[in-house]
């Protein structure tokens, strides 16, 4: 099987029907051929409409059960169109734009679809950053429900980690943190940076004692004025992130959903030099099949 389309003509040739999309998902889900999750038998019948039956134990296996496509009423063709559009648009796409491009019935449908795709932008068990990593907190604007239920703009706190290769930015990771305490910073860092790496920070007390958490620690003291930029790599990433939230999403991201927008930004940023959009499409499909379905309770626009 061809792994991924190289351009839009190719895309249309590869996925003209629901059946073609199902076959593709089957091939990505079981690259070595079907394996029954119960008895490991490798032969199956196709019962139609993305349902397979094991020839030995007769268990029925849904192609989309346990993936982000589970419980979706949208045809796979529409999902594939959305996936393709999301990877081809380097700056991403808003729910409003996706609704009009795909001709979806409602804003909520587009928003939910994008939200599910964001979950697929984090590969399960992905690598952590390593080497020299610059870390700092930033404030990210977000829509926060006020006490009276009115939307007010309030900043959320984020933690940015950037692999520094001399002056150049390598891979990044972002996380939302509750506050700048040592406990919250370290909790997020352990998910982002490999132990043994060198972490470069300013003198903020939240970073004190990082050595005890298994990291080498380079603390940069202020020698210039108040405008001195101690974490230049983080600041460059932060300004790109803020511009992206403002331009693509009009800044209207709720605090509770912010972590997933951060995931999308990381996905795009770390692949900014990738020339093969088709490969990104393939990776997203792989992840979409590997991660758990998103609970409906988390999908409130």
- Give the interface with Zn ion as residue ranges (CB under 5 A): 36, 38-39, 41, 54, 56-57, 59
Report the nearest approach of Zn ion to the CB of residue 22 (Å).
20
| Dihedral over alpha carbons 42, 14, 81, 289 (to 10 degrees) | 20
Give me the phi and psi of 17, to 5 degrees please: -135, 165
Report the nearest approach of Zn ion to the CB of residue 288 (Å).
24
198-201/132-145 β-pairing: parallel
Q: What three-state secondary structure class fits 300?
A: coil
Nearer to Zn ion, 60 or 228 (CB): 60
Report the nearest approach of Zn ion to the CB of residue 33 (Å).
14
Element (H, E) at 148: none
Report the nearest approach of Zn ion to the CB of residue 42 (Å).
9
Nearer to Zn ion, 37 or 212 (CB): 37
Report the nearest approach of Zn ion to the CB of residue 39 (Å).
3
Q: What CA–CA distance (Å, rounded) separates 244 from 238?
A: 10
The residues that bridge with 140 in the sheet, in sequence order, are: 156
Nearer to Zn ion, 23 or 42 (CB): 42
Nearer to Zn ion, 47 or 300 (CB): 47
The residues that bridge with 133 in the sheet, in sequence order, are: 163, 199
Q: Alpha carbon of 112 to those of 50, 72, 73, 108: distances in Å? A: 22, 10, 12, 6
Could you tell me where the DSSP H helices lie in the chain?
A: 8-14, 18-29, 76-88, 95-102, 107-119, 182-192, 232-249, 258-270, 277-290
Nearer to Zn ion, 56 or 242 (CB): 56
Nearer to Zn ion, 36 or 237 (CB): 36
Token pair belonging to 159? 């933690």
Nearer to Zn ion, 59 or 236 (CB): 59
Report the nearest approach of Zn ion to the CB of residue 35 (Å).
9
Report the nearest approach of Zn ion to the CB of residue 44 (Å).
8
Q: What CA–CA distance (Å, rounded) separates 160 from 239?
A: 12
Taking the alpha carbons at both ends of the chain, their separation in whole angstroms is 37
44-48/51-54 β-pairing: antiparallel
The DSSP letter of residue 174 is E
Report the nearest approach of Zn ion to the CB of residue 295 (Å).
28
Nearer to Zn ion, 57 or 220 (CB): 57
Query: How many other CB atoms sit within 10 Å of the CB of residue 278?
Result: 20
Place of tokens 């073609």: 20
C-beta separation of 119 from 125 below 8 A: no
């Amino acid at each position: 099987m061809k792994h991924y389309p190289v351009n839009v003509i190719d895309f249309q040739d590869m996925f003209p029907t629901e059946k073609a999309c199902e076959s593709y998902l089957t091939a990505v889900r079981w690259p070595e051929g079907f394996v029954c999750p119960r008895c490991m038998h490798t032969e199956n019948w196709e019962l139609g409409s993305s349902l397979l039956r094991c020839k030995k134990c007769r268990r029925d296996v849904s192609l989309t059960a346990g993936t982000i496509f589970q419980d979706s009423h949208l045809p796979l063709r529409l999902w594939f169109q959305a996936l393709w559009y999301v990877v081809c648009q380097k700056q991403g796409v808003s729910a409003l734009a996706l609704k009009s491009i795909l001709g979806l019935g409602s804003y909520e449908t587009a928003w939910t679809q994008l939200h599910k795709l964001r979950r697929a932008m984090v590969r399960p068990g992905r690598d952590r950053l390593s080497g020299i990593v610059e870390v700092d907190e930033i404030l990210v604007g977000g829509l926060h429900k006020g006490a009276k239920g009115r939307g007010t703009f309030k900043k959320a706190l984020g933690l940015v980690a950037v692999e520094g290769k001399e002056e150049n930015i390598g891979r990044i990771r972002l996380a939302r943190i509750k506050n700048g305490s040592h406990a919250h910073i370290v909790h997020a860092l352990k998910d982002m940076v490999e132990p043994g790496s060198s972490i470069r920070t300013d003198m903020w007390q939240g970073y004190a004692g990082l050595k005890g958490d298994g990291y080498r620690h380079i603390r940069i003291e202020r020698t210039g004025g108040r405008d001195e930029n101690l974490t230049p790599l983080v600041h460059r990433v932060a300004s790109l992130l803020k511009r992206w939230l403002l331009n693509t999403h009009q800044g209207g991201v709720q605090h509770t959903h912010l972590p997933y927008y951060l995931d999308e930004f990381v996905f795009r940023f770390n692949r900014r030099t990738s020339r093969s959009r088709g490969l990104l499409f393939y990776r997203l499909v792989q992840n979409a099949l590997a991660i758990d379905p998103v609970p409906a309770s988390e999908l409130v626009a």
